[in-house]
């Protein structure tokens, strides 16, 4: 059952699209904001006749994307980590390390961890800069030493700390902190 938590007002003086709305019209406004409607629409009879499809009635609605965005921005309604689409980036050293990183990437994604592999082998400084620019909180390093020890080094990009541990421990740690 739908429960309406916002007040609904009936305004018989409301006018919208007089040239094509023929019945009930609606507007959605923000309760405490001084701006126009966020959404509006209504019933129309035979509007499709203009396009060669006679006798079809309908209901239409449109949303003001810019107004909704401005309202959300003004009220700080966007999540803090909205620009954070990836939880961990695996460094790409190329060769065998790249193959191992791909296998680890698959394991991460199966656990629901948003992860990516840097697209090509490049200097580690360039890869770290990329992670910083994309606001990626963790970088996973799977080099020759880690491969020999069946481990992975996880660097926290916010505080600079890093820890070398087993891949399974890293997967568990990242899974627990994944929103």
> Do 47 and 107 belong together in one domain?
no
Residue 64 scores a pLDDT above 80: yes
Assess contact for 152 and 164: CB atoms under 8 A.
yes
Q: Give 83's pLDDT tier (boundaries 50, 70, 90).
A: low
Per-residue pLDDT at 31: 82
Q: Give the C-alpha separation, 161 to 7, whole Å.
A: 50
Q: Give 82's pLDDT tier (boundaries 50, 70, 90).
A: low
Residue 82 lies in a domain: no
Residue 100 scores a pLDDT above 90: yes
Q: Give the C-alpha separation, 172 to 83, whole Å.
A: 24
Residue 15 scores a pLDDT above 60: yes
| Mean pLDDT over the full length of the chain | 89
Residue 179 scores a pLDDT above 60: no
Q: What string of H, E and C letters represents the secondary structure of the chain?
A: CCCCCCCCCCCCCCCCCCCCCCCCEEEECCCCCCCCCCEEEEEEECHHHHHCCCCCEEEEEEECHHHHHHHHHHCCCCCCCCCCCCCEEECCCCHHHHHHHHHHHHHHHHCCCCEEECCCCCCHHHHHHHHHHCCCCEEEECCHHHHHCCEEEEEECCCCCEEEEEHHHHHHHHHHCCC
Residue 114 lies in a domain: yes
Q: Give the C-alpha separation, 42 to 22, whole Å.
A: 8
Residue 175 scores a pLDDT above 90: no
Residue 176 scores a pLDDT above 90: no
CATH of the domain at 147: 3.40.50.800
Assess contact for 88 and 113: CB atoms under 8 A.
yes
The pLDDT tens digits for 32-59 are 778 888 999 999 888 888 888 988 888 9
Q: Which domain holds residue 48?
A: 25-74
Residue 169 lies in a domain: yes
What global pTM score does this model have?
0.58
Residue 173 scores a pLDDT above 80: yes
Residue 111 lies in a domain: yes
> Do 94 and 129 belong together in one domain?
yes
> Do 62 and 31 belong together in one domain?
yes
Per-residue pLDDT at 46: 81
Per-residue pLDDT at 14: 82
Q: Give 84's pLDDT tier (boundaries 50, 70, 90).
A: low
């Amino acid at each position: 059952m739908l429960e309406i938590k916002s007040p609904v007002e009936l305004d018989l003086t409301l006018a919208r699209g007089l040239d094509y709305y023929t019945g009930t019209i609606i507007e959605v406004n923000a309760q405490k904001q001084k701006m126009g409607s966020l959404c509006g629409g209504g019933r129309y009879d035979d509007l499709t006749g203009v396009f060669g499809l006679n006798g079809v009635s309908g209901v239409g609605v449109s949303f003001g994307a810019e107004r909704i965005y401005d309202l959300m921005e003004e009220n700080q309604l966007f999540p803090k980590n909205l620009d954070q689409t990836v939880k961990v980036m695996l460094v790409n050293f190329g060769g065998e390390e790249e193959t191992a990183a791909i296998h680890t990437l698959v394991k991460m994604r199966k656990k629901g961890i948003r992860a990516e592999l840097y697209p090509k082998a490049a200097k580690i400084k360039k890869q770290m800069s990329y992670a910083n620019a994309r606001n990626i909180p963790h970088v996973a390093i799977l080099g020759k030493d880690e491969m020999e020890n069946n481990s992975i080094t996880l660097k926290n990009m916010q505080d600079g700390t890093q820890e070398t541990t087993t891949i399974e421990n890293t997967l568990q740690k990242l899974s627990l902190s994944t929103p």
